[in-house]
């Protein structure tokens, strides 16, 4: 007979299946999707998470520079003015916000991974490449959103050796399906 103690006994039932831990890709993309919901843009809400070695070094979402205005408040219903390509003329992209914040705070960016809810445009791709980000994981296609033939940013990054992957959920769930991404008005 075993002696009894007042201490609780921890047991592990090995007959049950172990709990499945989420992949970091799932965790970081889920965070990017939730960050996108912070955006004040009425056309597209985009989030980004910049990571290094399974640690978050910066986050961002699309919107005008801090301290300026919020598009949905200043331009309700129509959004802010558009540039010649139909993009917001006032906002920073989610990737830009995440990278700028990391650089401003002295984080080591080289060799990092960035998770974005919309594949990088060509301008963001140039910044990602210049900052020596090693891997990009995206949820939705910028080309599909813009109605253009190819993801120029993705093509550029791959051409110069950056690993770019379209995110696939390990659970098969439709992550980010509720993010507002509307076709830009001409």
73 CB-side CA count, 13 A: 7
Percentages helix, strand, coil for the chain (3-state, rounded to 5) are: 25, 20, 55
Question: Using CA atoms, how far apart are residues 138 and 112, in angstroms rounded to an integer?
Answer: 14
Give backbone dihedrals phi and psi of 26, rounded to 5 degrees, phi first: -65, -45
Catalytically annotated residue among 73, 74, 95, 110? 95
Question: Using CA atoms, how far apart are residues 96 and 82, in angstroms rounded to an integer?
Answer: 18
Q: Does residue 108 carry a catalytic annotation?
A: no
- For 154, the token pair is 């993705």
Active-site positions read 95
């Amino acid at each position: 007979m075993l002696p009894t103690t007042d201490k609780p006994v921890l047991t592990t039932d090995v007959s049950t299946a172990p709990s499945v831990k989420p992949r970091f890709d799932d965790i970081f993309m889920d965070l990017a999707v939730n960050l996108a919901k912070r955006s004040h843009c009425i056309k597209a809400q985009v989030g980004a998470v910049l990571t290094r070695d399974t640690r978050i070094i910066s986050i961002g979402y699309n919107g005008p520079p801090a301290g300026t205005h919020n598009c949905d408040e200043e331009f309700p219903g129509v959004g802010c003015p558009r540039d010649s390509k139909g993009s917001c003329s006032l906002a920073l992209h989610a990737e830009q916000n995440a990278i700028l914040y990391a650089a401003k705070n002295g984080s080591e960016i080289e060799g990092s991974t960035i998770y974005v809810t919309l594949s990088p445009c060509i301008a963001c791709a140039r910044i990602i490449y210049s900052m020596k980000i090693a891997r990009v994981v995206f949820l939705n296609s910028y080309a599909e959103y813009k109605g253009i033939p190819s993801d120029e940013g993705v093509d550029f990054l791959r051409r110069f050796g950056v690993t770019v992957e379209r995110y696939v959920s390990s659970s098969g769930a439709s992550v980010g399906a509720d993010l507002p991404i509307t076709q830009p008005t001409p």
